[in-house]
Amino acid sequence: MENSVHFMLQSKGGCGKTFSASLLAQYFMKIGTNFKGFDTDQENRDFHAYKGLPIRYVDVMQGKTSIDQKKFDGFMESLLTEDGVFVVDNGANSFTPLLGYLVENNGIELLRESGKTVFLHGIIGGGDNYESTIAGFNDLAFNSDAPLVLWLNEHFGELVDSGGTPFMKTDDFMTHAKKLRGVVMLHKLNPQTYGEDIKKMTKARMTIEEVISSSEFVLMEKQRMRTFAKDIFEQLAKVKFQ
């Protein structure tokens, strides 16, 4: 698992991508890897806001409105020359530029040649997020031969298409199934307990460990976050990262 690069990519904002990136980062830290994180989101530096995680912000803006793909060069230099397990949280606004940069410059192949194993993490949200996140996942999967890790977020609703077919029985899933190294499910939880606790945690940009040691959370809130983390980490332990 050491010397691996994990790109968290989705063209649709607000679907739980950064939250998933933070959970992945915490898992890698928990199992003792040399974790390093990058935040390339040019609108919301939410990943970088987690003070309990070693995250570097990457500025790839040209002026106030456009993204300069050339600025990805310095970011790639770090990935190519440093050792560690990297998680890159990419914003919706830089999804197309980063994906285009990686394809045009054979970036994934170059990372492989430098001894890195590359994984692309895509997230699909239920409910109103379903169709747009499916489109983003397909863009990601069709543009690279890198292994995929799929995150499924039930928070926004059921993961079914317009005909009521569960996602994992659709052509969208079957088409890319052979490239999948694992699936992580963010289960729908009780909104009055787990939901409020997670909202409180993410608003403060706190890690699970920080929640457990914080006086701002009562004992039952801490217990629920332990239970939540145990479920996610056990799922991540089953992903074929080797």
Q: Each residue of 34-66: pLDDT tens digit?
A: 999 999 988 889 999 999 999 999 988 887 667
- Give me the pLDDT at residue 225, please: 98
Is 157 within 8 Å of 126 (Cβ atoms)?
Answer: yes
Residue 201 has pLDDT above 90, yes or no: yes
69 pLDDT higher than 80 = yes
Percent of the chain with pLDDT over 90: 78
Mean pLDDT of 165-189: 94
CATH of the domain at 73: 3.40.50.300
Q: Tell me, what's the pLDDT at 65?
A: 66
Looking at the structure of the chain, the number of domains it has is 1
In a domain, 158, yes or no: yes
Does residue 242 form part of some domain? no
Q: How far is the CA of 196 from the CAs of 22, 88, 103, 202, in angstroms?
A: 18, 27, 40, 10
For residue 13, the model assigns a pLDDT of 85
> How many Å apart are CA 75 and CA 110, to the nearest integer?
13
Give the C-alpha separation, 191 to 209, whole Å: 22
Sign of CA dihedral 81, 146, 108, 121: negative
Question: Are 27 and 151 within 8 A, CB to CB?
Answer: no
Per-range mean pLDDT, top range of 85-94, 121-130, 206-215: 206-215
Which residues constitute the domain of residue 24? 4-237
Asked whether residue 127 is domain-assigned, the answer is yes
Determine the distance from the C-alpha atom of residue 173 to the mean position of all C-alpha atoms in its chain, rounded to a whole number.
Answer: 18
Average pLDDT score over residue span 178-191 = 96
AA identity, residue 112 = R
Q: Are 46 and 97 in contact (CB under 8 A)?
A: no
